Amino acid sequence: MLSFDRKKFFETYRNRFGKLTQPLVDALDFLIDQIEQDERFTHSEKDRRQLAYCLATFKWETAHTMEPIDEFGTNERFNKLYGPDTKVGKILGNTQPGDGARFKGRGYVQLTGRANYRRAGNFLNTNLIDEPDLAKNPPLAYRIAVQGMKEGWFTGKRLDQFIKDNQPPEYEKARSIINGTDKAQTIADMARRFDEVLLSALPLPTAGAQNRAAVRGLEAFGKTPERGHNGVRSRKKPPAQKINPNPRSDLSTGLAKFGG
């Protein structure tokens, strides 16, 4: 699981996004607590970028408060938009009069509609149909937002479709996970800034991770690494008369290939 240097996190956040208020510090501090306990995010580049996009989405969808909120509007508006007789309401699984307002948007990503509340409730083992306001409870809202973005609950689109291993992230296209192309560029720009914040606050890969990268480098060149006395894989030392005069060893070649 991840562990953040909070001082660096907030310093870089201030540099990239501007002034911090105490409520915003508290909201971000809470989110960091949740992320540090979340096994869905690792130290991989892909996971860091996906997390950056999640945070950018939270920032936009919560009107920059980074706290779960209710969708803006009146009950009349929500029933008109999401009522069971409307096209959108039917897509959202609303079936009863008043469902539009009852299952309005809530949380970090505005969970909306009876079907999404039921799915999220099943995931949380919580009755969100009878108590929809629980979708705004911060720990539950965090779990809903991340799982929904990872599994495509909201539009059928998932984070893995746009933010992959060893490929540039498609942050603009990732907006379709939540809401088509609405403010796609704005949120993509925020995701890039959040990635800088995360890079500043997360530790560098451990020596073990670097050694594993070196091993992958050796194997990429057809070498067969063996266990050394310290548990780190390495090649057997060649006979003295066969030592290559080139000071760049196979191991350093492997490290160089993987950024070591």
pLDDT, one tens digit per residue, over 84-132 is 999 999 999 999 999 999 999 999 999 999 999 999 999 999 999 999 9
Pair (64, 146) in one structural domain: yes
Q: Is the pLDDT of residue 212 over 50?
A: no
Say how many domains are in the chain. 3
When pLDDT is cut at 50, 70 and 90, the band that residue 1 belongs to is confident
CA distances from 182 to 57, 176, 185 (A): 11, 8, 8
Pair (102, 228) in one structural domain: no
Pair (129, 12) in one structural domain: no
Pair (63, 141) in one structural domain: yes
In a domain, 1, yes or no: no
Gap between the Cα atoms of 88 and 153, Å rounded = 15
Q: Quote the tokens at residue 42.
A: 């690792």
In a domain, 170, yes or no: yes
* Per-residue confidence (pLDDT) for residue 219, from 0 to 100: 44
Pair (117, 155) in one structural domain: no
pTM assigned to the model:
0.78
Pair (38, 53) in one structural domain: yes
* Per-residue confidence (pLDDT) for residue 204, from 0 to 100: 67
Pair (50, 94) in one structural domain: no
Look up the domain containing 211 and give its range: 207-257
Pair (157, 251) in one structural domain: no
Q: What is the mean pLDDT of residues 29-51?
A: 96
Q: What is the mean pLDDT of residues 32-61?
A: 97
- Residue ranges of alpha helices (H) inside the chain are 6-17, 22-36, 45-61, 75-82, 87-91, 99-102, 114-124, 138-151, 184-201, 207-220, 250-257
